[in-house]
Amino acid sequence: MLSPDSRNSDADLISTREAFLAMTDFIWQFAQRAGDDLLTLIGDTGIEADGGPTDSAAWDDWLASVAKIRAGLPPRSE
């Protein structure tokens, strides 16, 4: 698993549009599981002093959303 502080190669980069689509997918997926608890979302997506995520599951969910968008799938879909 790449951590949030990993140095990205050019192959890891996504466009601004892809980032926005991944973000909307990530938030939508979170809301499907946890409801509209914004404070939990903010807490889960924090970065600890060691560079790791506050909640490793949130990082895995983010990577899944990025992969979905990179694969050309629409956000907010299963």
Q: Residue 63's pLDDT is what?
A: 95
Identify whether the C-beta of residue 62 lies closer than 8 Å to the C-beta of residue 69: no
Per-residue pLDDT tens over the stretch 34-55? 887 889 899 989 999 999 899 9
How many structural domains are present in the chain? 1
How far the first Cα of the chain sits from its last, in Å, is 22
**Domain of residue 58, residue span:** 15-70
Structural domain contains residue 22: yes
Tell me how far apart the alpha carbons of residues 30 and 2 are, in angstroms, rounded to a whole number: 20
Q: What is the pTM of this model?
A: 0.80
The whole-angstrom distance between residue 56's C-alpha and the CA centroid of its chain comes to 11
Q: Which amino acid is at 33?
A: R
Structural domain contains residue 56: yes
Residues β-bridged to residue 47:
53
Q: Residue 3's pLDDT is what?
A: 59
